[in-house]
């Protein structure tokens, strides 16, 4: 039986989720959002609340009853709700594991009842400390020891993937798994450790731009609108069911160069300061030196990939203004 809404978006009041909801509504789709507002913000979706095609439920994916009710109302699910940011992962390890694992299990169980298609948002963090760059979806993952909370997020998201693929294999549930690589854009907050909005805030307010580590670590930044293009394209491809797919740019940039570019583009006079990891995070913090996706599977399935260059992305975020919550 068809639900009242085309899509359920968990975490829909968050950065990626709110952009996704805007896109879905603009394309004529109806959307139900489930978000506990722990890291999401009602301001992100306030313009959507007046639409008859949009419904917001403040609640958690940890509630079986709430999840079941939401899933019963919707035809497809995009599951974005998760613990967000390095700081939350380090400071709230129990909440990280419970939200990611139990929340995803609740979504999958509910979806199985109606055989509802589910897209699970995963992360490049799953690759851990692997040096086999670019990262391929079927490559090995290399995680640090369980004594370091840093790796609990990666492990919990890997378990989400195992669960989703198991539901697909055992029950025929149509699932698609996307591994996001550093999605950025307007409305992203630096409150939970996101590097680009933090740099931009520091540059625009004249504060020192703080680079954690030695600055030689590299990342690939993807514009949120292009990531959403890929997500929706994968949802429309039956061939993507049962697969894990990287979504990210392949333009690699060091974090120190990112800081320099933010300063230059913003016209800031802020000093760039290197902060060693042992000064920025608890003892024993580890990071990945490189994080670059192989996007051949994404291109093969959809014919598209994120292509906006880092300079253009920085300009777009600066044009939007100081990201909320990073002051």
Residue among 127, 153, 192, 281 flagged as catalytic: 153
Give residue 277's pLDDT band: very low, low, confident or very high (50, 70, 90). Answer: confident
Does residue 32 form part of some domain? yes
> How far apart, in whole angstroms, are the C-alpha atoms of residue 33 and residue 45?
10
As given in the structure block, the two tokens for residue 65 are: 């009853």
pLDDT per position as a tens digit, 239-269: 999 999 999 999 999 999 999 999 999 999 9
Over range 151-165, report the average pLDDT.
94
Predicted confidence at residue 149, as pLDDT, reads 82
3-state SS of 109-152?
Answer: HHHHHHCCEEEEEEEHHHHECCCCCCECCCCCCECCCCCCHHHH
Contact 92, 23 (CB under 8 A): no
Same domain, 169 and 262: no
Does residue 108 form part of some domain? yes
Does residue 259 form part of some domain? yes
Predicted confidence at residue 192, as pLDDT, reads 67
Give residue 279's pLDDT band: very low, low, confident or very high (50, 70, 90). Answer: confident
Q: CA angle, 53 as apex, 47 and 59 as ends, to 5°?
A: 75
Same domain, 197 and 100: no
Over range 59-87, report the average pLDDT.
93
* 153 given a catalytic annotation: yes
Among 82-91, 122-131, 170-179, the least confident range: 82-91
Q: What is the mean pLDDT of the chain?
A: 93
Same domain, 86 and 29: yes
3-state SS of 231-243?
Answer: HHHHHCCHHHCCC
E-strand stretches of the chain: 5-10, 31-35, 54-58, 74-79, 117-123, 175-180, 183-184, 209-212, 218-220, 222-223, 244-247, 252-254, 272-275
Predicted confidence at residue 322, as pLDDT, reads 66
Q: Taking the model in full, what pTM does it have?
A: 0.94
pLDDT at 324 over 70: no
Over range 109-137, report the average pLDDT.
96
Among 12-26, 65-79, 135-149, the least confident range: 135-149
Give residue 85's pLDDT band: very low, low, confident or very high (50, 70, 90). Answer: low
Q: What percentage of residues in the chain have a pLDDT greater than 70? A: 95
> How far apart, in whole angstroms, are the C-alpha atoms of residue 85 and residue 236?
29
Does residue 81 form part of some domain? yes
pLDDT at 177 over 70: yes
Same domain, 85 and 194: no
Q: What percentage of residues in the chain have a pLDDT greater than 90? A: 82
Instruction: Indicate which CATH number applies to the domain containing 116.
Output: 3.40.50.720
As given in the structure block, the two tokens for residue 305 are: 């990939």
* Residue 79: φ, ψ to 5°: -100, 100
Among 41-55, 77-91, 148-162, the least confident range: 77-91
Q: Which domain holds residue 142?
A: 5-183+224-247
Does residue 95 form part of some domain? yes
Predicted confidence at residue 224, as pLDDT, reads 97
Virtual torsion, Cα 91, 96, 97, 101, nearest 10 deg: 180
Over range 270-275, report the average pLDDT.
97
> b vs e for 170-202, b when ≥16 Cβ sit within 10 Å of the residue's Cβ?
eeebbbbbbbbbbbbbbbbbbbbbbbbbbbbbb
Number of domains in the chain: 2
Does residue 299 form part of some domain? no
Give residue 2's pLDDT band: very low, low, confident or very high (50, 70, 90). Answer: low
pLDDT at 83 over 90: no
Over range 185-196, report the average pLDDT.
84
Query: Higher model confidence: residue 14 or residue 283?
Result: 14
Does residue 281 form part of some domain? yes
Give residue 323's pLDDT band: very low, low, confident or very high (50, 70, 90). Answer: low
Does residue 300 form part of some domain? no
Predicted confidence at residue 325, as pLDDT, reads 46
Among 105-114, 192-201, 217-226, the least confident range: 192-201
Same domain, 259 and 189: yes
């Amino acid at each position: 039986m068809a639900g009242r809404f085309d899509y359920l978006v968990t975490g829909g009041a968050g950065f990626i989720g709110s952009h996704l909801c805007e896109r879905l509504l603009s394309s004529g789709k109806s959307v139900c959002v489930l978000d506990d507002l722990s890291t999401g913000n009602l301001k992100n979706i306030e313009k959507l609340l007046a639409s008859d095609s949009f419904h917001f439920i403040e609640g958690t994916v940890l509630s079986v009853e709430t999840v079941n009710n939401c899933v019963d109302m919707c035809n497809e699910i995009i599951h974005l709700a998760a613990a967000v940011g390095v700081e939350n992962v380090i400071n709230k390890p129990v909440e990280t594991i419970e939200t990611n694992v139990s929340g995803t299990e609740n979504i999958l169980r509910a979806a199985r009842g109606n055989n509802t298609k589910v897209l699970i948002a995963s992360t490049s963090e799953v690759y851990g400390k692997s040096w086999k760059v670019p990262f391929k979806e079927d490559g090995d993952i290399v995680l640090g020891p369980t004594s370091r909370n840093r790796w609990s997020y990666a492990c919990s998201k890997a378990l989400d993937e195992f669960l989703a693929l198991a539901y697909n294999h055992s029950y025929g549930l149509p699932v698609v798994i996307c591994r996001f690589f550093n999605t950025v854009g307007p409305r992203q907050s630096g409150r939970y450790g996101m590097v680009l909005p933090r740099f931009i805030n520091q540059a625009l307010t004249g504060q020192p731009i703080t680079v954690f580590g030695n600055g030689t670590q590299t990342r690939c930044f993807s514009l949120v609108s292009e990531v959403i293009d890929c997500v929706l394209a994968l949802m429309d491809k039956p061939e993507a069911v049962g697969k894990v797919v990287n979504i990210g740019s392949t333009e690699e940039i060091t974090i120190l160069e990112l800081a320099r570019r933010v300063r230059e583009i913003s016209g800031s006079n802020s000093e760039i300061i290197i902060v060693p990891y042992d000064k920025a995070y608890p003892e024993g913090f580890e990071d990945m030196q490189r994080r670059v996706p192989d996007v051949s599977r994404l291109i093969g399935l959809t014919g598209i990939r994120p292509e906006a260059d880092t300079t253009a992305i920085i300009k777009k975020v600066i044009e939007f203004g100081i990201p909320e919550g990073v002051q």
